[in-house]
A and B are shown apart, each in its own frame.
Chain A
Amino acid sequence: MSDAAARPLLEIRGLKKSFGDVEVLKGVDLAVRPSEVVTIIGSSGSGKTTLLRCVNLLEEFQGGAIVLDGETIGYGEAGGRRRRLRDAELSRQRAMTGMVFQSFNLFPHLSALGNVMLGLRKVRRMAKDEARTLAADWLNRVGLGNRLDNVPSQLSGGQQQRVAIARALAMNPKLVLLDEITSALDPELVQEVLSVIRRIAADGATLLIVTHEMRFAREVSDRIVFMEKGRIAEEGPPSEIFGAARSARLAEFLRNSGH
């Protein structure tokens, strides 16, 4: 194994995050290797979503460090003091990760094509034709080749979420963050979204997933991380986590999630 392959793509060290007086992340350490699929599970309020949002720099954090592909993101040092980076730097670093949200968050004034193209044009600075071709290609891959010109309000929840996935992946991010992407969907629409994720995982994308779909997590993940009260309580391959649960708390959580 070469050094580059051995080096984690994402390394989170001692991450601490508070909202006012409430400490949500109490020192989280987590490393994700290239092409690895890591799923974070845990009850609501355990800090899973906040962790993802910190990695995408949508939240500030007070302690610890996040290193993405060898680059410390979000903060730098100026005169011996830890400082949040400038907007332009943060934007550049955010573009290294892709994020898909629970509530889709498509741009309502743009077509499916326009949603995928915006980042390609403005962030990747692609020519219009090139961006259009790439965007159409991605929408095809998520099964929406016949919906290019529809605006979000003309699409079902599952279709909207697939546009959001195409929007994130077309940017060719090093790491993709999926934040409970099926939680807002009707049950019959969940599978169409999950099957897209299975495919991109098989294609070698590096994924950090937060989900309540335990069966999916078990099947798609290389590693499962169980978070509790702002800490990683347990982690291991799915067979271990879902097999003989080590802590009573994890066993109880899995029981309550129908496992």
Chain B
Amino acid sequence: MNYALHFGAVWASFDKLLSGLAIGLGLAVAAVAIGCLLGILSAFASVSKLRLLRMVSGFYVLIIRNTPLLVLVLLAYFALPSAGIRLDKYESFIASLALYSGAYLTEVFRAGLLSVPKGIVEAARAIGLTRLQTNLHVVAPVMLRNVLPSLGNTFIGMFKDSSIAAAIAIPELTFEARKINVDTFRVVETWTVASGLYIAACFTIAFLLRRLERRFPKF
């Protein structure tokens, strides 16, 4: 092995990697925010009394969870325009990742809903809250606190999946790293630094979520 490490070439473009990281984080945050909303709605639908709602939710999870994200991203970016839906690459990627994370989050939130004690739902109904008010003010907050730990896992997963945006030329971290790699041929250095950045970012997300968990009292 005569490979001498030269990080200089990577450091020269480090700002590109950082801006890539920021774009990746932005994509993930936007997608997960929409995904959470989708997931919560779909989870409530999955435990609904109405068969139709349960079926819609089940179908959504079935289709999306069994499609690779990369395929979903390519489909949204390249195939949707022929259906007359024109999204730019950022919009189409956020939509794909949101849809994808929504399917996974459906299961997370569903488990959370099932963990809400029946008694507190009855107590809420007993003081005269409507079904909607009960879900809004009692069920949802208790469920969210219960799922906070598993939510962290999903968040980290979705952030790492933002690397797939490289496939449609969004200049996020993986895309920038590949460019530096091609320009400098510093294969080991480039990908080592890129991995390091991913690890640091994930570690930070996990840390922040742990702090958030501690801020809300355990039940």
- Which residues does A use to contact B, with CB under 8 Å? 56, 58, 87-88, 91-92, 94-95, 97-99, 101, 103-109, 118-119, 122-123, 151-153, 164, 167-168, 171
Contact = CB atoms under 8 A, between A and B. Distances in A.
Contact of B127 (A87, A118, A152): A118
Contacts of B127: 94-95, 98, 118-119, 123, 167-168, 171
Interface in B119-144: 119-120, 122-131, 133, 137-138, 141-142
Interface residues of B, number: 23
Contacts of B126: 56, 58, 94, 97-99, 101, 168
B120 A106 contact: yes
Contacts of B123: 99, 101, 105-107, 164, 167
Q: Which 4 A-B pairs have the closest CB atoms?
A: A95-B128, A119-B127, A105-B123, A108-B219
Given A58-B126, A94-B126, A122-B137, A109 B131 contact: no
A123 B128 contact: yes
19 contacts: A56-B126, A58-B122, A87-B130, A91-B130, A94-B126, A99-B123, A99-B126, A101-B123, A101-B126, A105-B117, A106-B120, A107-B138, A108-B120, A109-B142, A122-B133, A123-B129, A152-B219, A153-B219, A168-B126
Contact of B120 (A91, A98, A107, A123): A107
Interface centre among B119, B127, B145 (most CB of A within 10 A): B127
B217 interface: yes
A105 B219 CA distance: 12
A197 B45 CA distance: 41
A142 B12 CA distance: 69
A118 B137 contact: yes
Interface of B: 117, 119-120, 122-131, 133, 137-138, 141-142, 145, 216-219
Contacts of B137: 118, 122
Nearest to A154: B217
Contacts of A91: 125, 128-131, 133
Contacts of B125: 58, 91, 94
A217 B142 CA distance: 36
A88 B145 CA distance: 28
Contacts of B145: 109
A156 to B, nearest CB: 16
A99 B121 CA distance: 13
B178 to A, nearest CB: 46
A104 B122 CA distance: 11
A65 B126 CA distance: 19
A58 B126 CA distance: 7
Nearest to A122: B133
Contact of A101 (B122, B129, B141, B216): B122
Contacts of B130: 87-88, 91
Contacts of B142: 107-109
A178 to B, nearest CB: 12
A152 B141 CA distance: 15
Given A153-B217, A153-B219, A171 B119 contact: no
A99 B142 CA distance: 21
Contacts of B117: 105
A123 B128 CA distance: 6
A149 B128 CA distance: 23
A162 to B, nearest CB: 15
Nearest to A124: B128
Given A95-B128, A101-B122, A118-B129, 16 more contacts: A56-B126, A87-B130, A98-B127, A101-B126, A105-B119, A105-B122, A106-B123, A107-B123, A107-B124, A107-B138, A108-B219, A118-B138, A119-B128, A123-B129, A167-B127, A168-B126
A107 B217 CA distance: 12
Contacts of B129: 91, 118-119, 122-123
Contacts of B133: 91, 122-123
A168 B137 CA distance: 17
